[in-house]
């Protein structure tokens, strides 16, 4: 294997590895219905212990009403249809926004939020409406309507978490074309009590056309006061109105305790914060972090490649910036926290780029800890816009790991133009470790678990190592390691450790294996502060690798 490594190397741009399996696929059946324009986990709607999934279809035509829209809820257990709700008039765009609400009415069944920004709430044209539906029986628990014509209430909806500490989750709804204080389309975002639907807080755009509320999300507990906070976008906010710059966009974090502004970030070109989201705790400091996007961001050399920023909830400092790599990738079309996927103690991120490769699209899974790309879910066909919508699906298959919900709203299932499709994937890291840190003074044993697909039964495997980083290198498959002397040595079975077990061998009848490295106390004191990276590859005897695991970083600490 060593000789081949020295002759068959092609280094690409970012880390890869792991594998994925399709758990569910649902397809739209209406021409230009845009099934999957919005997606989210519904929580456990039917109380079977498995999270269910919501799909918005805002251009569906139920009853023959063009763009009335519809929303469907599917069982995570078997993919069966649980509920369908429909818009009632043309151009309701019901289902433009969907979100889990948690168990608002405390009956043991999670409830569902849906927005229809074009609805004539209260009889006012385009004022918009938002609905809270019971997970138990599908009935309407609460309905909110816009107060003025064209307010577009329900353009965005989300759970706000527990704002008023009454043990009932609260709701946040955006109305980006509201006119607070007479400022046309300044926009508002309103937090409502889950207990009685009353208003708790309202956040208003400052100037005309700010479009405050075009995106809303729970931010988690950003300031560590034990009360949930929220993040709100104003996609066309101006700096120094009316003199400019104009339409740069802003993202705001507001305290759930008193409604005060905790943070504000402003764009420096057109339109940051088309979407905002809580990021979970990506840096492991105990404070929730936040993220927002600009999928149409550009540089001198790239057009609309897209950017996503992740900021610390504790300090407001920039933690990560992700960028698309090609013209029209539109990275950031969808942004999500997906919990700790790789077991390193930090929450990870799922980011869609539906414009990539003639709108085939992809969704990248990134490590929250160091920004490494863990996996890429890829679309199938040009013009599908796979990755436009995505979400943390929860643990659908019951294997203890997060699964992923991804929409391709202009896919053509069964030849139906732009009917749309939605997919649920499970992610298979293929290699896991018991720790990502080795205390050099005390010593420790690093235990590795190899869990390749059953199809890799009796394949040979090699655990590879690099001190150079996460590559990747192409050698039969993309391997998430940088080529250096340690990689070449490990490919030949040579490791810089005194005690190892089964770092190379043969997978069992289930495609599984175990390995370990033991670090004697004090033997690696010289390496404190350094990180090395491991990945495992599997292959039929005498052939090139077919499968590579994710990369596992291991840091020496005092």
Q: Which residue has the higher pLDDT, 38 or 480?
A: 38
For the stretch 144-170, pLDDT in tens is 999 999 999 999 999 999 999 899 999
3-state secondary structure of 557: strand
Residue-level pLDDT at 269: 65
Structure-token match 């056309």, residue found = 209
Residue-level pLDDT at 270: 64
Whether 6 has a pLDDT exceeding 80, the answer reads: no
DSSP string for 347-409: --EEEEETTHHHHT-EEEEE-TTT--EEEEEE--STT--EEEEEEEEE-SSSSSS-EEEEEET
CATH architecture of 2-14+431-557: Sandwich (2.60)
Whether 342 has a pLDDT exceeding 90, the answer reads: no
Sheet bearing 19-27, strands edge to edge? 19-27, 421-428, 403-408, 386-394
Whether 506 has a pLDDT exceeding 50, the answer reads: yes
Mean pLDDT calculated for residue range 418-425: 98
Share of the chain above pLDDT 70, in %: 97
Are the CB atoms for 198 and 191 separated by under 8 Å?
A: no
- Phi, psi at 85, each rounded to 5°: -120, 145
What is the chain's mean pLDDT, rounded? 94
Q: Which residue has the higher pLDDT, 280 or 15?
A: 280
Shortest CA distance to 383 belongs to which of 407, 416, 414, 361? 361
Whether 19 has a pLDDT exceeding 90, the answer reads: no
Residue-level pLDDT at 375: 87
Q: Bridge partners of 320?
A: 310
Q: What ranges do the domains of the chain cover?
A: 2-14+431-557, 19-428
Distances (CA, A) of 68 to 86, 125, 149: 7, 14, 18
Residue-level pLDDT at 503: 98
Tell me which H or E stretch contains 550: none
The number of angstroms, rounded, from the C-alpha of 114 to the middle of its chain's C-alpha atoms is 19
Q: According to the CATH classification, is domain 19-428 in 3.40.190.10?
A: no
Cis, peptide link before residue 335, omega less than 30° from 0: no
How open is the CA angle 463-466-471, to the nearest 5 degrees? 105
- Cα gap 122→65, rounded to integer Å: 19
- DSSP single-letter state for residue 316: -
Model's pTM, two decimal places? 0.90
- Cα gap 230→190, rounded to integer Å: 10
- Cα gap 146→157, rounded to integer Å: 13
Tell me the Cα Rg of the chain.
24
Shortest CA distance to 83 belongs to which of 42, 119, 30? 42
Distances (CA, A) of 322 to 44, 380, 407, 416, 448: 32, 23, 21, 34, 30
For the stretch 206-246, pLDDT in tens is 999 999 999 999 999 999 999 999 999 999 998 877 777 88
Distances (CA, A) of 426 to 21, 39, 51, 399, 537: 5, 16, 13, 9, 20
Distances (CA, A) of 539 to 3, 477, 543, 546: 16, 10, 6, 5
Q: Bridge partners of 407?
A: 389, 422
Where are the strands (E) in 79-194, listed by range? 81-86, 94-102, 111-116, 129-133, 140-145, 156-161, 170-175, 188-192
Residue-level pLDDT at 524: 97
Are the CB atoms for 477 and 375 separated by under 8 Å?
A: no
């Amino acid at each position: 294997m060593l000789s081949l490594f020295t002759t068959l190397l092609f280094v690409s741009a970012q880390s890869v590895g792991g594998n994925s399996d399709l758990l569910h696929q649902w397809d739209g059946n209406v021409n230009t219905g845009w099934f999957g324009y919005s997606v989210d986990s519904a929580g456990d709607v039917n109380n079977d212990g498995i999270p269910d999934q919501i799909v918005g279809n805002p251009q569906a035509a139920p009853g023959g009403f063009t763009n009335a829209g519809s929303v469907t809820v599917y069982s995570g257990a078997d993919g069966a249809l649980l509920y369908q709700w429909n818009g009632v008039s043309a151009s309701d765009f019901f289902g433009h926004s969907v979100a889990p609400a948690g168990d608002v009415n405390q009956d043991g069944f999670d409830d569902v939020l849906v927005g229809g920004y074009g609805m004539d709430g209260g009889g006012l044209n385009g004022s918009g409406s938002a609905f809270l539906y019971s997970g138990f029986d599908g009935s309407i628990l609460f309905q909110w309507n816009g107060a003025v014509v064209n307010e577009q209430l329900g353009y965005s909806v989300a759970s706000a978490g527990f704002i008023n500490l009454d043990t009932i989750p609260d709701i946040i709804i955006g109305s980006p074309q509201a006119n607070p204080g007479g400022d046309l389309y300044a926009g508002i975002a309103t937090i409502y009590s889950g207990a009685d639907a009353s208003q708790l807080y309202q956040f208003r755009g400052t100037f005309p056309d700010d479009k405050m509320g075009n995106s809303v999300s729970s931010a988690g507990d950003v300031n560590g006061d034990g009360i949930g906070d929220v993040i709100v976008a104003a996609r066309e906010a101006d700096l120094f109105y009316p003199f400019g710059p104009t339409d740069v966009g802003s993202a705001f974090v507001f305290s759930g305790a008193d409604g005060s502004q905790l943070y504000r970030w402003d764009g420096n070109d057109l339109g940051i914060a088309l979407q905002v989201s809580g990021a979970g705790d990506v840096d492991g400091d105990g404070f929730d972090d936040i993220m927002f996007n600009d999928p149409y961001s550009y540089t001198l050399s790239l057009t609309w490649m897209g950017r996503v920023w992740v900021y610390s909830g504790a300090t407001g400092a920039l933690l990560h910036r992700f960028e698309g790599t090609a013209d029209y990738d539109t990275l950031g079309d969808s942004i999500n926290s997906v919990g700790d996927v790789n077991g390193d103690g930090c929450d990870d991120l799922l980011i869609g780029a539906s414009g990539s490769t003639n709108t085939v699209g992809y969704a990248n899974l990134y490590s929250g800890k160091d920004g490494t790309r863990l996996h890429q879910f890829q679309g199938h066909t040009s013009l599908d816009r796979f990755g436009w919508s995505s979400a943390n699906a929860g643990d659908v298959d019951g294997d203890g790991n997060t699964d992923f919900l991804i929409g391709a709203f202009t896919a053509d299932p069964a030849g139906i133009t732009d009917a749309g499709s939605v997919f649920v994937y499970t992610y298979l890291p293929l290699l896991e470790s018991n720790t990502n840190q080795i205390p050099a003074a005390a010593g420790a044993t690093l235990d590795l678990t190899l869990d390749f697909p059953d199809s890799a039964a009796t394949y040979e495997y090699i655990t590879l190592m690099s001190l150079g980083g996460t590559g990747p290198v192409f050698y039969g498959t993309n391997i998430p390691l940088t080529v250096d002397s340690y990689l070449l040595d490990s490919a030949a079975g040579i490791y810089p450790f005194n005690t190892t077990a089964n770092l190379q061998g043969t997978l069992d009848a289930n495609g599984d294996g175990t390995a370990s490295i033991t670090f004697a106390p004090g033997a690696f004191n010289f390496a404190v502060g350094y990180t090395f990276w491991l990945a495992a590859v599997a292959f039929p005897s005498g052939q090139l690798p077919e499968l590579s695991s994710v990369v596992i970083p291991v840091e020496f600490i005092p």
